[in-house]
């Protein structure tokens, strides 16, 4: 599904690499959590998987396609199948919950339909389906600005699922949430992952969440991969190496 080979990223005007010579594969159906301190390169890596962050060296193949060699049009097409959940939600506060979820279809529709908010009955039904999945169907017409943080993140998840993705990415999706809400969000992500047969890759700062819900953990330190294993292999010694 994902092949990462000798990937490095160096930002303009920087001498130190944000990512350095990463090489590993992620199989279809894996639930991967990425651990590491702030600045370890977690967000940079997640953004390379859908072309939001170009790589400086190496290659990333998604379903056989080399992301680095894709045209702008091909990259946009790739992103329609890669759902992304953000730490700070990236929702439109003045729009309703349902309207925000429907924006997940924007990459698959002509620009004029997006501009005028033209959606098919099937798309409207699909939005309601995913709102029900995340427990927010009764909030469909409520403006997002009136929701709690946990509710906003559920909207973000429903929006990502509206793309009907084959890969689901998360960039610290629970970093701003309280522990109980974070756990519930991860339960929801796990359910969607298993029901849809997704490949899921999520940055997370909470080691306990990673150990409880993931099938595999990657540890980054200063842009380098220092751990790749199953949750039960994350010993105290490995933890100290990562952090």
159-218 confidence digits (pLDDT tens): 999 999 999 999 999 988 999 999 999 999 999 999 999 999 999 989 999 999 999 999
Asked whether residue 52 carries a pLDDT value surpassing 80, the answer given is yes
Asked whether residue 78 carries a pLDDT value surpassing 90, the answer given is no
109-166 confidence digits (pLDDT tens): 777 677 777 789 999 999 999 999 999 999 999 999 999 999 999 999 999 999 999 9
- The per-residue pLDDT for 48 is 94
Q: What secondary structure does DSSP assign to the chain, as a single string?
A: -EEEEEEEE--TT--S-SEEEEEEEE-TT-EEEEE--TTSSHHHHHHHTTTSS--SEEEEEETTEEGGG--HHHHHHHHHTEEEEETT----TTSBHHHHHHGGGGGGS-HHHHHHT---HHHHHHHHHHHHHTT-GGGTTSBGGGS-HHHHHHHHHHHHHHT--SEEEEESTTTTS-HHHHHHHHHHHHHHHHHHT-EEEEE-S-HHHHHHH-SEEEEEETTEEEEEE-GGG--HHHHHHH-
Please state the pTM of the whole predicted model. 0.92
Q: Which of 218, 171, 157, 170 is nearest to 43 (CA)?
A: 171
Asked whether residue 73 carries a pLDDT value surpassing 90, the answer given is no
């Amino acid at each position: 599904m994902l092949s990462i080979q000798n990937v490095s990223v160096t930002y303009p005007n920087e001498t130190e690499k944000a990512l350095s010579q990463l090489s590993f594969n992620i199989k279809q159906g894996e639930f991967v959590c990425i651990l590491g301190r702030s600045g370890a390169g977690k967000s940079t890596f997640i953004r390379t998987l859908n072309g939001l962050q170009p790589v400086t060296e190496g290659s990333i193949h998604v379903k056989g396609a080399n992301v680095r060699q894709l045209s702008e049009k091909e990259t946009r097409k790739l992103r329609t199948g890669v759902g992304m959940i953000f730490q700070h939600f990236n929702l439109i506060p003045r729009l309703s919950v349902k309207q925000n979820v429907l924006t997940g279809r924007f990459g698959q529709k002509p620009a004029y339909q997006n501009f005028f908010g033209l959606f098919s009955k099937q798309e409207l039904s699909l939005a309601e389906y995913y709102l029900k999945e995340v427990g927010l169907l009764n909030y469909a017409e409520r403006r997002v600005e009136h929701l709690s943080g946990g509710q906003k993140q559920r909207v973000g998840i429903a929006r990502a699922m509206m793309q009907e993705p084959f890969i689901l990415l998360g960039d610290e999706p629970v970093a701003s949430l309280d522990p109980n809400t974070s756990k519930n969000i991860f339960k929801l992500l796990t359910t969607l992952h298993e029901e849809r047969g997704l490949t899921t890759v999520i940055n997370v700062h909470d080691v306990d969440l990673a150990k409880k819900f993931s099938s595999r953990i990657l540890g980054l330190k200063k842009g380098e991969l220092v751990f790749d294993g199953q949750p039960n292999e994350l010993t105290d010694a490995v933890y100290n190496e990562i952090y």
